[in-house]
Structure 1
């Protein structure tokens, strides 16, 4: 009897080990692909100050820079539409198929940007072609993040979803970190004139190699087990867009009470901080990128920490704390950055950027688990993706353009902070008062209930 019990325990333990190993394989493949997509999307933003003269008329550097940011922002503008298109596919056909398609579109568009002739060669066709490619990138990213987040979450056990999905949350920052690393490596290997003339194209062209690697990783994955069970039970949505529309109040709460603030904190702490260093404080290109890269490297492990913490204390306390800290400290931080720039203090500047990245990890680390738990399984891909990309694509993605334009219009170097502070404050108030806590929601119980209802 004891021998039989011991054998049963060994089988259970072996299955648990196999399940855990499979989950880590899913996380590795999903995060690897998503990291590459973020790298593809952000190298344009990371190179904005360099390529402004390549695709726009010469002679007006500030106007060219703002035009580059505007083109960068178009990729964010269409992300909600990508969320609807690919979210619908993900809820109808499957999570895996949707994010294979988005990955292919993203990689192809990024490589193509590296091949577009300059304004000097083809005139206005150059910015028009880049604009089209940025639109394709935005559409692809609109479907990518939701697919990866849902895919990992639907493999993860209840009670540890914040921890496991936090690895997906590292990919946006790691993608920016990798883009900065590649850009620095290329820049340091070439004379400045060669880098400005053609070397900036190399990071875009490398996307073809990364695309092949990521497709290889993802094509070997199986469909999400939770979605497969829904499909077998005949409980998937026949009209994800219509059913998502009926949840508009819940999506509005997700947008104004979570993703809008998260979006502006993310793009202020990483992109606007970079532009503030380069354009306002006149920190050299290589030095400013090193400062951002070091801050990102130091901050990235905190995505996982705050994802894990949200499993223990809840998603809301962690996310709302990040928004509140941003509201209270952005002005002092940027005033300190100005002080540390003259005389130049790289340690002080890195510390100020690190604090901003820390806020990013607080608002972003738990948000994938929060959004997954907020929406029902059969329309989860669509319902999650739309408020996420409205918050990140519109509220967050336009932050560098709005903030830089405010500085250019007023001459006040701190005027750009009004927008992110206001949005983060709104999210703190709405999220604290109206958004429900989700960390104890069991998404597996929901599916089992649907299966039981179908059996009856």
Structure 2
């Protein structure tokens, strides 16, 4: 079905299209900034909102709350997809950006757990739910709005700016955090300065609303409305329209499942990996992510434009296949560059833990279960980035290079004492747990690894807005593309930091969480090969 034009309307000019792309992209940047600032400041929020001295549990609780927002994205997709297909694209994503800005600012106003107790994390969860609902309507609205303004031969290029804007939101969150760190002393930033990036969302909201209010409705929606062809119930029709169930399945697993797990592995897993087990200085991590993120933004535009010539399927297939081959080697390389001393010490002096009931229970404290002494040692070693070999025995013991290490009973009083004790015991064997400042050469190498991960993300994400817009009929397009996209992004991607963290905490292998990404991408590659249309890009056509 070619894109119809409403009577009395005209094709938008180049200037108008630039405004459409600029306003939609800016709003997307701001809205994803609001969503990502929580993840960027996760290492601080775990102390502000969760009362635990268990570093692993604290981070898992933060990622759990992070995942709550994603869990509600599909509901937002259903709600705002319905409104977008019934009432219009423009006003729907005006509502979503307003909700997101208000909810994000609210996080910056919540008293800490020390002040109001368990009410603090409960309020955070409620605000994350609102954010998730809003984000469920944002991406589909912005992507479709640009796609329905773009000429078919430039649709991949124009919509790629929306994809780049998602990365732009992450980059903006890092820029704001770095600026706050520069202007606010470290102690003050940890005490109250972290609230500033959240409150800043009110200013971004005002800018976004000002830009988006200048926009007119999508010409495709105007044409449908003028012809009386809008959907009566977009949600129901999304699952009953001929061929749509297959398209939704492909969009969920063969497109979104691939892109979202690669994206969150590249950005959030990379950030957590460097800050956590690799012990890299926080500011260094933020600068590395900022530089790589700024460069990676251009990759999405390049891939989107490329897809206008070769089709949407090839970049996704290439990106997914390369991910399966390169994911583990890239993270191994990043680990050796970020903290080479830790890897060398572990190779030179293997750590062996022996004892009864040597299993970790990451949520033992949360559910008031008793963690075994051996499990506590394993948890601390994993959080510290120390690989170990596990042996079952009747007595608890810890050795380094075959030499026994005395286990102090005081280690089991609390997590901080145990962490300090184990770090001190392993220090003579070359294990350095101080904040790391890699050499310039190593930093450049880490940036190179992140750029490689970013390219994998761009290959699987750069053309997706155009592809999804072309896969579904215009009258139910907002709902049909938003529902599978946000189920995939909400559950397969949004829960990735939590799932990967649990896998790492349970196995003791800091790289084992990557298997989740590998598995989702492997399945998605099969579905994409089977279900994504071959050949050059084309408008939706009835089957």
User: Could you say which TM-score interval applies, normalised by the shorter chain?
Assistant: over 0.9
SS in structure 1 at match of 2:515: helix
Structure 1 residue 23, shift from structure 2 partner: 0.6
Q: Does 1:369 align with 2:366?
A: no
How do residues 330-349 of structure 1 correspond to structure 2 at under 5 angstroms?
330-343=327-340, 344=438, 345-349=442-446
Quote the Cα distance in structure 2 between the aligned partners of 1:176 and 1:309: 24
Structure 1 residue 388, shift from structure 2 partner: 0.9
TM superposition outliers: structure 1 runs of 4+ over 3 Å: none
Give 2:250's match in structure 1, choosing from 253, 271, 287.
253
The superposition leaves residues 255-274 of structure 1 with CA deviations (integer Å, 9 ceiling, x where unpaired) of: 11111011100100111110
User: Counterpart of 1:407?
Assistant: 504
Structure 1 residue 84, shift from structure 2 partner: 0.3
Quote the Cα distance in structure 2 between the aligned partners of 1:215 and 1:433: 41
How do residues 110-189 of structure 1 correspond to structure 2 at under 5 angstroms?
110-189=104-183
SS in structure 2 at match of 1:108: helix
Quote the Cα distance in structure 2 between the aligned partners of 1:442 and 1:19: 21
Q: Does 1:320 align with 2:417?
A: no
Structure 1 residue 254, shift from structure 2 partner: 1.2
SS in structure 1 at match of 2:51: coil
User: Counterpart of 1:225?
Assistant: 219
User: Counterpart of 2:493?
Assistant: 396
Greater helix fraction, Structure 1 or Structure 2: 1
Structure 1 residue 439, shift from structure 2 partner: 4.5
How do residues 46-61 of structure 1 correspond to structure 2 at under 5 angstroms?
46-61=40-55
Quote the Cα distance in structure 2 between the aligned partners of 1:64 and 1:245: 40
The two structures have a TM-score, normalised by structure 2, of 0.78
Give 1:26's match in structure 2, choosing from 20, 27, 48.
20
More displaced 10-residue stretch of structure 1: 250-259 or 198-207: 250-259
Quote the Cα distance in structure 2 between the aligned partners of 1:399 and 1:302: 23
Confirm or deny: 8 A CA contact 1:370 1:438 kept in the other structure.
no
Give 2:97's match in structure 1, choosing from 92, 103, 123.
103
Quote the Cα distance in structure 1 between the aligned partners of 2:328 and 2:118: 39
User: Counterpart of 2:455?
Assistant: 358
The superposition leaves residues 4-37 of structure 1 with CA deviations (integer Å, 9 ceiling, x where unpaired) of: xxxxxxxxxxx98x61111111111111111100
Structure 1 residue 148, shift from structure 2 partner: 0.3
Structure 1 residue 213, shift from structure 2 partner: 0.8
SS in structure 1 at match of 2:13: helix
Give 1:276's match in structure 2, choosing from 273, 277, 280.
273
Confirm or deny: 8 A CA contact 2:65 2:125 kept in the other structure.
yes
The superposition leaves residues 338-363 of structure 1 with CA deviations (integer Å, 9 ceiling, x where unpaired) of: 11123432111111111101111111
SS in structure 2 at match of 1:441: coil
Confirm or deny: 8 A CA contact 2:76 2:133 kept in the other structure.
yes
Q: Does 1:42 align with 2:36?
A: yes
How do residues 415-426 of structure 1 correspond to structure 2 at under 5 angstroms?
415-426=512-523
Structure 1 residue 325, shift from structure 2 partner: 1.1
Confirm or deny: 8 A CA contact 1:371 1:384 kept in the other structure.
yes
In structure 2, runs of 5+ residues without a counterpart are 1-9, 341-437
Confirm or deny: 8 A CA contact 1:53 1:61 kept in the other structure.
no
Q: Does 1:431 align with 2:519?
A: no
Give 1:64's match in structure 2, choosing from 46, 58, 61.
58
Confirm or deny: 8 A CA contact 1:281 1:341 kept in the other structure.
yes
Structure 1 residue 438, shift from structure 2 partner: 7.0
Structure ID, larger Rg = 2
SS in structure 2 at match of 1:196: helix
Q: Does 1:195 align with 2:189?
A: yes
The two structures have a TM-score, normalised by structure 1, of 0.92
Quote the Cα distance in structure 2 between the aligned partners of 1:293 and 1:429: 33
In structure 1, runs of 5+ residues without a counterpart are 1-14, 447-456
Quote the Cα distance in structure 1 between the aligned partners of 2:260 and 2:317: 13
SS in structure 2 at match of 1:280: coil
Confirm or deny: 8 A CA contact 1:91 1:380 kept in the other structure.
yes
Quote the Cα distance in structure 1 between the aligned partners of 2:274 and 2:338: 9
Structure 1 residue 226, shift from structure 2 partner: 0.7
Quote the Cα distance in structure 1 between the aligned partners of 2:38 and 2:219: 36
SS in structure 2 at match of 1:300: helix
